[in-house]
Amino acid sequence: MPSNRGLRLHPASPLFDVFSSVRSLVFVGVAALFAAGSDRTEVIIALVVAGGAALKGIQYFLTWYRIDATELVVSRGVIVRNERHIPFSRIQNLDLVRSPIHRMLGVSEVRIQTASGAEPEAVLRVLSEKAIAELQAGIGRVESSPTGAEAAPLVKLSIDDLVVLGLVSNRAMVVIGAAMGVLWQFGLTDRIEASLEGFAPALRGAGIGATAIGVAMFVVVLLVMLPALSVAMTIARFHGFTLVRNGEEFRLRCGLMTEYASTVVRERVQALSIRQSPLHRLLRRASIRIETAGGAKEGEQLISRRSFVPILPSDRAGEILEEVFPGVSLDDVEWRPLARGATRRMIKKALIVWLLVSIGAAAWLKLWGVGLAFVFLPVVIWHTIRTARFMSYARSGRAIMFRSGVWMRATTITLQERVQVVSVAENPFDRRHRHASLAIDTAGAGPIGHAINIPYLEAERAGSLRRSILSHMTEELSRSPSQR
Amino acid sequence: MSDAAPDSDAGQDVASEAVSEALRLNGAPTPVCVRLIGASRVSSMITSLVLCVLALVGVILGIGLGGMSSTSAWAVLLVVSWLGFTGGMIFLALWYPAAAYAKLRYAVNDMGIEIRHGIFWRKVVSVPKQRVQHTDVEQGPLMRRFGIAKLVIHTAGTQYATVSLEGLEFDMARRIRDHLIGKRVGSDHAE
């Protein structure tokens, strides 16, 4: 099947190329229209779009790819030709994105990720189902099972799960925030306020004040509209979510309108993080993120890392961990606390922050501020003590674990052989208490957002941990030569 | 402290070779070349000079804008604070490079490289040999003047994607680089 001559993309490719460039041009166009609004700008925009479309058409005929024995070769470029060789062994992820239009034409956009950089190494826009199957077979990712017939999924989310996920994640908050920003930018909030005031006299007759309307609206938005919107957005994104392990790779697919499919090679997972918000804990749920080297700073690519498992019962987290890092278990983990005196230092730090905020509050709200500050004092101390108690680390077999947080809890696990750099740091305050912090760096773009950075350790312990992790790591690496 | 770093240009090769051989075996913490102090003093002096001149312009403008109504006390205050600022900058430019040099140590062994640095915020960074993706040996015009170079180690890490070590003799930097990437090539073949 691997042929020596290059393969063309799907004939519909220029269409999608134009779509994607038009999408990025829309912003420029809208901005230009707002700025000038003359006929000439419209003509210029049309010309730019048409020119871009023509260029994409030419580009289609000059783009080809080839599946060799050990590498994928992608050649493109109108003026400057670029031939890119991607060894199969370096491919980290293969992501497919399929919007309703893609589905109508039976094609997908293919994104190939390697460990380098934030951008996908190659984007094949677009390939037919058959070409994708050939590509996957060539890369050696799919043994015999064609798409569809797979092993039993590790995680499968029902609509109920998605509703819970929508409520827990409160995805809409971000969108509403952005929308409010835009509204405010264009001065629309004033208009809304004005129209509200227009309503007011009518209602005042019924004995309802403007403030009451405001409060009522706020409550409705907060308790009804935001959650509803969150659930809708979550269902759109994660509908039909399944996570399957197929030999050495995980396959993840989801999406209502735009379908998204991703493969993550097990060996490439650098770290795994189990997260729980208070709501998660209340509902006994957790979410799992993973870190792979390179790629995925934004956009859909993030789904496979940020939402490796968007939501699952918290007692199943250990199961997923064992699937990702075989032989690593969350049971019988001996969590080691921070150094003696860590809690006292953290309280001291929290009190200094509290004092500064209190002074501000007192200056602004006078006696009320002072009162508020003292009401919050026990909360601050309680929160700090809880933080210090929960923050701990563990080593169990090849695994290094770190957990932290009071409200938002995160437990991050990596393997000794995945460690890149180990560092021990001491600041002047650390030195006074003979403390130090230990940072364990792994590869990855950081979608986990919970680095293994253990503060307030006894200095000697931090040093011996550093040496021990390094020697175990080099030992492990010399035993199995594969680098990550 | 500076016993391992020869000051004279003559015999530099022989000495650094001996040091490098010793390093490979025992991996003992070693200071870098003392000429780093001179080089960083010059570069921080240049920075301070620019800042002081900018501050002086500010002071002159401050006095000028005050115009007729400005009291002499205001002018004196500005000038005195400028003098203080300049003095502080000169002190920092002289003191900091020496203090930083005194705390900078590196150790190379079979496992990789270890760098200790920091006056107040101290840090030990360990980079295992297998994790070195590629390295650069950099030498700017000032560093060339002082006969030193900077070794930049790139890893696949996130926080520590690049780890650099300043103030090595050019030759030594190259030797360490060879040592760090030398064995890795072998392990790649084994793959």
Return the pLDDT at A351. 95
First to last CA, chain A: 30
B86-95: which pairs have CB atoms within 8 A and are 24 or more residues apart?
B86/B48, B86/B52, B86/B55, B89/B48, B89/B51, B89/B52, B90/B45, B90/B48, B92/B44, B92/B48, B93/B41, B93/B44, B93/B45, B93/B47, B93/B48, B94/B41
pLDDT in tens, chain A (484 residues): 344 567 888 888 888 877 776 666 666 666 665 555 556 666 777 787 778 778 777 888 888 888 888 888 888 877 777 888 888 877 777 888 888 888 888 888 888 877 665 667 788 888 888 888 888 877 765 444 444 445 788 999 999 999 989 888 877 676 667 676 666 666 655 666 666 666 656 655 555 566 677 778 777 777 788 888 889 989 988 999 999 988 888 888 888 888 888 888 888 888 999 999 988 999 999 999 988 876 545 555 567 777 889 999 999 999 999 999 999 999 889 999 999 999 999 999 999 999 999 999 888 888 888 888 899 999 999 999 999 999 999 998 889 999 999 888 999 999 998 899 999 999 999 999 999 999 999 887 566 778 899 999 999 999 999 999 998 888 887 776 554 4
- Name chain B contacts of A431, Cβ cutoff 8 Å: 122
Contact between A401 and A410 (Cβ < 8 Å): no
CA distance A464 to chain B (A): 12
Strands laid side by side in the A399-404 sheet: A309-313, A285-292, A269-276, A409-415, A399-404, A392-396, A336-337
Residues 6+ apart with CB under 8 A from A222: none
- Does residue B122 belong to the interface with chain A, where contact is any CB pair within 8 Å? yes
Return the pLDDT at B189. 37
3-state secondary structure chain A: CCCCCCECCCCCHHHHHHHHHHHHHHHHHHHHHHHCCCHHHHHHHHHHHHHHHHHHHHHHHCCEEEECCCEEEEEECCCCCEEEEEEHHHCCEEEEEECHHHHHHCEEEEEEECCCCCCCCEEEEEEEHHHHHHHHHHHCCCCCCCCCCCCCCCEECCHHHHHHHHHHHCCHHHHHHHHHHHHHHCCHHHHHHHHHHHHHHHHHHCCCCHHHHHHHHHHHHHHHHHHHHHHHHHHHHHCCCEEEEECCEEEEEECCCCEEEEEEEHHHEEEEEEEECHHHHHCCEEEEEEEECCCCCCHHHHHHHHCCEEEEEHHHHHHHHHHHCCCCCCCCCCCEECCCCHHHHHHHHHHHHHHHHHHHHHHHHCHHHHHHHHHHHHHHHHHHHHHHHHCEEEEECCEEEEEECCCCEEEEEEEHHHEEEEEEEECHHHHHCCEEEEEEEEECCCCCCCCEEEEEEEHHHHHHHHHHHHHHHHHHHHHCCCCC
Contact between B67 and B148 (Cβ < 8 Å): no
- Name chain A contacts of B159, Cβ cutoff 8 Å: 421, 439, 441, 451
CB contact under 8 A, A427 and B121: yes
Give the A:B interface size as CB pairs under 8 Å: 86
Residue-averaged pLDDT of chain B: 81
CA distance A394 to chain B (A): 20
- Does residue A446 belong to the interface with chain B, where contact is any CB pair within 8 Å? yes
pLDDT at B7 over 70: no
Tokens of A333: 């983990």
Shortest CA distance from B187: residue in chain A: A481
Q: Which of residues 36-55 of B touch A (CB under 8 A)?
A: none
CB contact under 8 A, A482 and B191: yes
Return the pLDDT at B117. 95
Residue B132: which H helix or E strand, with range?
Answer: strand B132-138
CB contact under 8 A, A420 and B155: yes
Which of B131, B165, B184 should one mutate to test binding to chain A, selecting the residue with the greatest count of A CBs within 10 A? B131
Three-class SS state of B127 = strand
CA pair distance B103, B116, nearest whole angstrom = 7
At B8, the pLDDT band (50, 70, 90 cuts) reads very low
Strand pairing report for A392-396 and A155-156: unpaired
Tokens of B141: 């015009």
Return the pLDDT at B184. 41
CB contact under 8 A, B158 and A484: no
At B121, the pLDDT band (50, 70, 90 cuts) reads very high
At B163, the pLDDT band (50, 70, 90 cuts) reads very high
B157, B190, B191 member nearest A420 (Cβ): B157
pLDDT at B52 over 80: yes
Mean pLDDT across the stretch B118-123? 93
CB contact under 8 A, B157 and A431: no
Distance of CA A300 to the CA centre of its chain: 9
At B3, the pLDDT band (50, 70, 90 cuts) reads very low
- Name chain B contacts of A424, Cβ cutoff 8 Å: 123-124
Mean pLDDT across the stretch B12-18? 48
pLDDT at B71 over 80: no
Tokens of A459: 């200095």
- Does residue B157 belong to the interface with chain A, where contact is any CB pair within 8 Å? yes
Mean pLDDT across the stretch B65-81? 77
Shortest CA distance from B126: residue in chain A: A422
Beta bridge partners of A411: A274, A403
* Helices marked H in B136-169: 141-145
